A and B are shown apart, each in its own frame.
Chain A
Amino acid sequence: MAKASITFEDINVTVTAPAGTRLIEISEKVGSGITYGCREGDCGTCITKVTEGWNNLTEPSVLEDKILRENMAGKHNRLACQAQVLSGVIKVKPV
């Protein structure tokens, strides 16, 4: 299975994880500063900046896009509870 390498820049930790893993599953285990609220893509608490490898994450759904817009998220922001890793190098940090 394809693996991705995700770096949490705030704590300088890189994790390799299989395709399909959500960022939330990894970030909570390593203790990155990304914080969570509802964990189901509704509240916008876990908005995260993707600094590298945007295309190595699944595309945001229409619903995720809506929540990002409502929360005035900047460019290259994702919800960590929704985004799943695909492959290659991904770098993220809390906004």
Chain B
Amino acid sequence: MSHLPVISLNTIPQAVALSERVHWVGALDPNLRNFDIILKTANGTSYNAYVVRGSEGVAVIDTVKENFAGDFFTRLEAVARYDEIKVIVLNHLEPDHTGALPELMRRAPQARVYISQKAQSMLKALLKQDHFEFTPVITGDTVSLGDRTLQFLHTPYLHWPDTQCTYLEEEAILFSGDVFGCHFCDSRLFNDVVGDFRFSFEYYYAHIMRPFKEFVNRALTLIEPLTLNTILPAHGPLLRDQPQRYVQRYKELSRSALQSEINEGEKTLLIFYISSYGNTRRMAEAIYEGAMSVDNVRVSLYDLEGSEIAPFVDLIEGADGLIFGTPTINGDAVKPVWDLLSSLAVINLKAKLGGVFGSYGWTGEGVKMVEDRLRGLKLRVPIPGIRIKLIPTEEETQLCREFGHELALDLMGLRQAKVIDIADLV
């Protein structure tokens, strides 16, 4: 199929036919090296937008980043007149897909915008106005273009609250938004003729979709039953060759690696520590011992000095509880602890159990600071952290054992509920 049109970057932008009724009208951005601060891309990206022609009107699905609007409109004008546009679908409102929207709405004022329920307030904020025609849609809603029908799939949090996918029933094409996308710019467009984009596909998943695995799995339950001839994402190669492979890959990537090693009814508790004089390590070992005394808790103990961060992030993703041990140096928790805690934005931590401990010399603020960070990351921190001045005594070591034991009990839902009067709280 390599005889299909290749877009030249140096000539007038051409629309690319994907079928008789579907065209790619997006834009190529080969010079981009850094996307949204958090993603690198070695060969740019593309902003994919599409036109679907039905017997009773035309739909435009997504637009492009604002400074590429010229290419988008040139391509769009090659395949449709503005007065034919009946429907504008926005699968996701991030500016790289909606940059040309205000101008498109100006040129095609009769078109109705179809967005997800969650997208409504964002769209108003984006357009800085309240009065325009739009229809919020959910799974199962459809819009007819005569002999072509668009069906909507509610797939939130992939990777914004507003995201949805759109399915063209008659041609079994899924317009998937950022799902199955990647930052990879190649003017040959199609997955069976572009350069090797496997790394980009996995890298994009790891940074964009991974925090929302639970939502990926929910979306896949809607996508898997569909007949798929082609998946057309909003970035990167158009997946016409074996599109199901990419669905399958998302399924594999959205499984927790550690989960399969854990027995039914067991929970995992990870203890991370770093220690300068061995005192925080002694505390860690006692907490480990205490936690081990609770049945069905699989406890692991890690010295932060002994590993790179990435493997720990993988472990944390699959764990049920996390305990961090840090000394306090110069009034702060130490850098390796912060380095790990600032690397967790790519995974979902919500409602995991958290706990903090540490030895200190003078002031001991580190424990409280890390506790606050854990709460900010949406962990629950049911037991106040323990701080011990310098070398733990036998009594203090026992306190650490109890701390570990209590946290493990809490993890298993075995800790007694506490009732207190506000007057007794300090």
Contact = CB atoms under 8 A, between A and B. Distances in A.
B419 to A, nearest CB: 5
Contacts of A25: 422
B376 interface: yes
B118 A14 contact: no
Contacts of A94: 375, 378, 380
Given A15-B420, A25-B422, A34-B375, 15 more contacts: A10-B380, A12-B410, A14-B417, A15-B419, A16-B421, A16-B422, A29-B425, A29-B426, A30-B420, A31-B382, A33-B378, A33-B381, A72-B121, A94-B378, A94-B380
A15 B417 CA distance: 11
A35 interface: yes
A19 B208 CA distance: 45
Contacts of A34: 375
Contact of A13 (B118, B371, B376, B420): B420
Instruction: Name the residue in B161, B422, B426 with the highest tally of chain A Cβ atoms < 10 Å from its Cβ.
Output: B422
Interface residues of B, number: 23
B381 A15 contact: no
Contacts of A72: 118, 121, 161
Main secondary structure on chain A at its contact with chain B? mixed
Interface string B206-219: 00000000000000
Interface of A: 5, 10-18, 21, 25-26, 29-31, 33-35, 69-70, 72, 94
4 closest cross-chain pairs (CB), A and B? A11-B382, A10-B380, A17-B422, A29-B425
A29 B420 CA distance: 11
Contacts, number: 63
B384 interface: yes
9 contacts: A11-B380, A11-B381, A12-B382, A13-B417, A13-B418, A18-B422, A25-B422, A29-B422, A69-B121
Nearest to A70: B121
B4 to A, nearest CB: 43
B351 interface: yes
B415 interface: yes
B417 A12 contact: yes
Nearest to A69: B121
Nearest to B426: A29
Nearest to A5: B419
Contacts of A11: 380-382
Contacts of B419: 5, 13-16
B379 interface: yes
Interface string B23-57: 00000000000000000000000000000000000
A12 B425 contact: no
A72 B161 CA distance: 10
A47 B356 CA distance: 25
A24 B381 CA distance: 16
Nearest to B410: A12
Contacts of B382: 10-13, 31
A25 B422 CA distance: 9
B379 A33 contact: yes
A18 to B, nearest CB: 7
Interface in B401-426: 410, 415, 417-422, 425-426
Nearest to B371: A31
B40 to A, nearest CB: 30
Contacts of B425: 15, 26, 29-30
A72 B160 CA distance: 13
Nearest to A95: B378
A37 B417 CA distance: 28
A90 B351 CA distance: 20
Nearest to B385: A31
A33 B161 contact: no
A43 to B, nearest CB: 14
Nearest to A45: B376
Contacts of A35: 375-376
A84 to B, nearest CB: 13
A24 B382 CA distance: 16
Contacts of B415: 12
B52 to A, nearest CB: 30
A14 B420 contact: yes
A93 B358 CA distance: 28
Contacts of A70: 121
Contacts of A15: 419-422, 425
B417 A31 contact: no
B381 A31 contact: yes
A10 B121 contact: no
Contacts of B378: 33, 94
A10 B353 CA distance: 9
A33 B375 CA distance: 5
Contacts of A26: 422, 425
